[in-house]
Structure 1
Amino acid sequence: MEILKRLSLDVKPIINAAGVVSTYGGASMPQEVVEAMSEATQVTLRIDELQGAASKFIVKITGAEAGYVTCGCAASLMLGTAACLTGYDVDRINRLPDTSDMPNDILIANSQRCGYDHPMRAAGAKIIYVGVPSGALAPGQIYAPLIEDYEVAITDRTVAIAYFDHEGGIPPLEEVVSVGKKYKLPIILDAANSVPPVENLRKFISMGVDLVAVSGGKGIRGPQQSGLLFGKRDLIAAAALNCFVPDFSGGYASYDKWNPPLSLVAKEKLRGVPHHPVGRGCKVSKEAIIGLLTALQILTNEDGYAKEVKRLRLLLEPISQRLQGVRGVYIEITDKVPGGLPVIVLSINRLELGKSMDQISQRLKEGDPPIYVFAPRRFGDKCIVSALGLNENDATIVADRLYAAITSK
């Protein structure tokens, strides 16, 4: 890669057959997105006005009241949390992440406890994990909280309920939404890898979710440093206020002279102008905003999703064919995975092959170029091969190297 040589960067390019894993660069962007971002470099825009226009674009494709482009799904979660903590209260916006003497509890099911609650805590929230089993659980078992566990945990310090979208979630999202409505608490949904399918852009809003956070660099194939936050107008306004900084061209902006985009912020609900909020580090470039909106336009066009499915299947087919007939190897191309886009599920019989999936994966990583498949230890002797980060040449290399790693002694 010439750019690495010109900058004297001692980094070896890899082939990402693991899919939307951020560590490996996420999904590749369509050429139209790359060109749109390049075009955006040639124009100067006010970011708040661009975000206001972007909100209108997002509203059309999601059915939400408003939307905001962020620098990733984690940023969406942080800003969404900040919105629930502060609303339009400028004093609270200026204080975050200090939430002393203000309600700051966010409920999350104990069974959904994970590292992705860090962005919420970074905004100043205190996470209250819901659902405690009545007895000790065996290794590998998880206590699935009951809906009443949420109700019991609600206090006057509760500001929101957070939920991580995945198939078969317990309690179902619909029931958690109903609790939120009953107690007038917003629902923050982490749907990082839930788009595609395209219908999910509207599904969660129609279910009554108040804030939906989605990654822009996964199945949408926008810039890796982009994300979406969409939902209730006042919450999106509060999220924006916790992120962008008013005009500083003449020093700190006065309230009278400040004109935030009306499609994002109802100025009359504010008593002043927030300055340098907690989400300052979540700011997003004009190039990333334009790139993500372009990727969304491509995906949501009438045949956009169908074209993407066809593209991925064509890339996966030579990999599948190369491994057909190999003893102890079982291949399935399926879309029954998070994101709904086709992948190869590769299973092996380690007794027949005399090696484990972990050993096969390690051999791929040690080759030139290194190849990464999605093979976490919890998968055992299975892995997922995704084409979201591949081109035609990559797919050929993956096919040959996988065959060699599996069949070599």
Structure 2
Amino acid sequence: MGIYQQLGLKQVINASGKMTALGGSAVHPEVARAMGEAGMDYVEISELIEKAGKLIAEATGGEDGCPTAGAGAGIAISVAAVIAGTDLRLIERLPDSAGLKNKIILQKGHAVHFGASLRQMVALGGGQAIEAGHANHVEEAHLRAEIDEQTAALLFVQSHHAVQKGMQSLETMIQLGRDHKVPVIVDAAAEEDLRRYVAMGADLVIYSGGKAIGGPTSGFITGRKDLIEACRAQYKGVGRAMKTGKEAIVGLLSALARYSQAAGHGGEWRDRAERLAQELNQLSGLSASVVKDEAGRDIYRTHVRIDERESGFSAKEVIRLLEKGDPAVFTRNHYANTGVIFIDPRPLHEGQEKVIAARFKEIWDNRK
């Protein structure tokens, strides 16, 4: 019996992805051991944070790094850093930034909701989010017109949540930042490539520790040394409410070390997704195939289309039955209204794709 079942909670199979709502990642035993050891000893936290920054920088190619409680906290801390710098008087004022350079400019299609509002994370750091252009169409001129003497930073959101078409590229944002001497912040929370955005010239890049990296609930910021110093300084201000403990920092570093040494898993995930698709295609009124991640990451998922007329089920009904079962199976449901369910193989424990296939078969067999 698992720890959550001992607490009286249902068993969950996560076929949705590394989602915060389902606990992010299931950490590797090495990471869990590191966290356990960290929890049973003491350390000077400021020294640990600085050491973590050096190791984050080595893994990402940044000049320095800063651990955070998560990517959401990373946004708030990054925004606070570009507004207040290391000035303690300003740090202690935030999120009240009246009279300061506080405009954070982003494309309208990037003002996402990721379980909370990105605009709210900006506001927590004292920023005023300025959306440029339209939800499905942004031109460089839209962005350039919003930049003025009150602009503290440009913010680019690299996420499957963001609009993928009609937006300006990160290259354009970085060039605008250089033209106007304004830092560029990249929210790359769930991205797999830890070096790409720093190498492209972004000034601060934010990642989740509990997504692609496979660490505990945590995050980090990497990038320009002076701005990272300002990020750390925010732990005397708004960052205090977002502090991350010694266990999470050590777990993050352990996961980061493993991640940096590991080869890509795209082929393995594709194979698992294909095996599951073959099993599901034996059911009438259902067609399964393998598709690549919509945001271009090296992630492959099983794409399940349900024909309601032939199967007798709507996609939403199948989702409800999967989540109601024992164990409860949670799928990726962004397109359920179109009859499509996605199954992400990355979070699955060994053999759980067989359990998912059996649950689908059980649902089909129990049709009235």
TM-score after normalising by structure 1: 0.82
- Contact kept, 8 Å, 2:270 with 2:299, in 1: the verdict is no
Which residue in the other structure is 1:398 paired with? 356
Q: Residue 97 of structure 1 corresponds to which residue in structure 2?
A: 95
> Is the CA contact (8 Å cut-off) linking 2:35 and 2:247 kept in structure 1?
yes
What is the DSSP-based 3-state SS (H/G/I as helix, E as strand, rest coil) of the residue aligned with 2:138? coil
Contact 1:28–1:388, Cα closer than 8 Å, also in 2: no
2:227 aligned to which of 227, 235, 249: 235
For residue 128 of structure 1, what is the aligned residue in structure 2? 130
1:389: how far off? 2.6
RMSD over aligned CA atoms reads 2.1
Displacement of 1:313 in angstroms is 5.0
Deviation, 1:311, is 5.3
Q: Is the 8 A contact 2:274 2:289 kept in 1?
A: no
Equivalents in 1 of 2:89, 2:147: separation in Å? 25
Alpha-carbon distance between aligned partners in 2 of 1:362 and 1:123, rounded to the nearest angstrom: 38
What is the distance in 2 between the residues matched to 1:378 and 1:91? Answer: 49
Partner of 1:36: 34
**Per-residue deviation, 1:17:** 1.1
CA shift for structure 1 position 116:
1.8
Question: Is the alpha carbon distance of 1:42 and 1:278 closer, same or farther for their aligned partners in structure 2, counting shifts above 3 Å?
Answer: same
The 5 Å alignment of 1:315-354 reads 315-316=272-273, 318-338=275-295, 339-354=297-312
SS at match of 2:189: coil
* Equivalent pair of 2:315/2:337 in contact (CA under 8 Å): no
Offset of residue 283 of structure 1: 1.0
Structure 2, unmatched stretches of 5+, are none
Q: Which residue identity does 2:177 align to in structure 1?
A: G
User: Does the CA-based 8 Å contact 1:315-1:392 persist in structure 2?
Assistant: no
Specify the code of the residue in structure 1 equivalent to 2:147: I
Q: 2:53 aligns with which of 55, 66, 69?
A: 55
**What are structure 1's unaligned runs of at least 5 residues?**
133-141, 244-275
Q: Which amino acid aligns with 2:186?
A: L
Matches of 2:165 and 2:259, distance apart in 1: 26
Question: 2:15 aligned to 17, 23, 38, which one?
Answer: 17
Confirm or deny: 8 A CA contact 2:136 2:165 kept in the other structure: no
Percent of matched pairs sharing the same residue = 30
Alpha-carbon distance, 1:205 to partner: 0.8
User: What SS class does the counterpart of residue 163 from structure 1 fall into?
Assistant: strand
Shift in Å, 1:44: 1.4
Query: Matches of 1:310 and 1:164 in 2, distance apart?
Result: 27
Q: Aligned-pair distance for 1:78?
A: 0.8
Deviation string, structure 1 residues 347-374 (Cα, Å, up to 9, x no partner):
2222321222111111101112221101
1:286 and 1:348 map into 2 onto residues whose CA distance is 46
What TM-score, normalized by structure 2, do the two folds share?
0.90
Distance 1:342 1:36 in 2: 30
Point out the structure with max Rg over C-alpha. 1
Say whether 1:368 aligns with 2:366: no
CA deviations 1:301-323 (Å, max 9, x no partner) are 1xx133x4465456545533421
1:255 corresponds to = none
